Structure 1
Amino acid sequence: MDKKDLAHFKELLLAERNSILHQFQVNNSFGLDENLNDSIGELTSYDNHPADIGTEVFERGKDIALQENERHILDLVDEALQRFENGTYGYCVTCHQEIPKERLEAIPYAKYCIKHQTNNEISIQRPIEEQFLRPPFGRTSFDGKVNETEFDGEDAWQTVARYGTSNSADYFANAMDYNHTWIESDEPDGYVDQIEGFLVTDITGSPSVDHIDVVRNEVYEAYIKSHEGEEGIAEIHIDDKNENEK
């Protein structure tokens, strides 16, 4: 890159820097130096329903994002100007190869080539918790793993959700009662195979038919409707018939 090109890109950087500083002055820090209550003319931001000031909260969040973005670009511009001082401007900080002029023309503060730009995070500020949320419930999820029946993150959420969530009842249109108003409420609890949810034995756990009883609960009803294990269902109905005849 010759001196003429360097002078051109430095001029672009200085123009970008001045534009950002002007934005901060004109927009008065994007209105964030003013209290939310003062900006909406209310005595308090707490109301009977959070949606009452939903628009204002959205606008405040947007202002924060715009301000953060401008500050981030300003930092990148300052870093690019510093690279002018040490003679490394126009070179990728990862592979040290020259960045195409077309890219610098569009983004004069670019510090990566196209190849290595994609290897870097786009967001500059993400909560560390996100590292543990993929897959859902992150590293504490044992769903889909063979021979894993531990109490995991999803089970912890379901246990708490039994006492109610912010979702209204109509969110769970298929729920049979309020004991099923949480995600995957029909998931087996304390058993793996469906038949284990309604067949019980005596204290010895004897497999003899004489020591097996049937609990006619919702798991039993679901088992019957699913037509699983036709022979087993037939035996259960025969036993029921014999019991009624006695």
Structure 2
Amino acid sequence: MLTEDQKNRLKNELEAAKNELLSRLKDNNNFGTSVSFPYDSTGGLSSYDNHPGDQATELYEREKDIALYAHEREHLREIDHALDNIKKGTYGKCEVCGQDIPLDRLAVIPTAVTCKQHTPDEEVSKNRPVEEEVLHPPFGKFEHDEKNIAGYDSEDAYQEVESYGNSQTPQDMETPPVSYNDVYMESEEDVGYVEDYENFAATDLYGNPMKIYPSNEHQEYEEQLDEADSMVSWGDLPASEKKPYDE
């Protein structure tokens, strides 16, 4: 059982820790959480033209400040709880089993209200922040991610989202694209079709050709055929017998 001298000494330590904590929160403006994010906290009028990397840094700093503030508030609650137990005369007793808490434990953790056997922090929590999910590979979680198929998979979904913009510039890519609209992973890949001609040719239910839709891809395809025609060798046939390749 604690003596009155030991209780007074621990009480003084708790009060000193509380005053220091409150002073620290006042000096750092509650870790900066008293001002709005992101404008007041960064001093900017707008974040419209900020680089995504800079915005991510500011968001990380705000999350860290919130976590530190929550940690300090929890510590303050524990101090107040211990001081309240001193007033009620229950300080130094385990709130679970009622046994005396060893002085060595209280000397290290004055806010302790349980013995070591009943401490709620005996086991390390395996709960992780949801933000850590982005650290895992983006692919390999779905049915066809490990297969090279023409069907729509998670990689296609990522490419579609990335096509609306990312933090890269043409100089960041292995093969710099001509347009900023193509600054995303495998932008040259066909979307919605496998062969180029599928983008402009239509067929009926039985595969019979029905119509050709004019498009840039169709024009490109025709130019490639013309180029292939010009490379065909017709031998020494007279000019009257030479016919176009597509006939």
Greater fraction of residues in helix? 1
Larger Rg: 2
Task: Answer 1 or 2: higher relative contact order, Cα 8 Å, separation at least 6.
Answer: 2
TM-score, normalisation: structure 2: 0.50
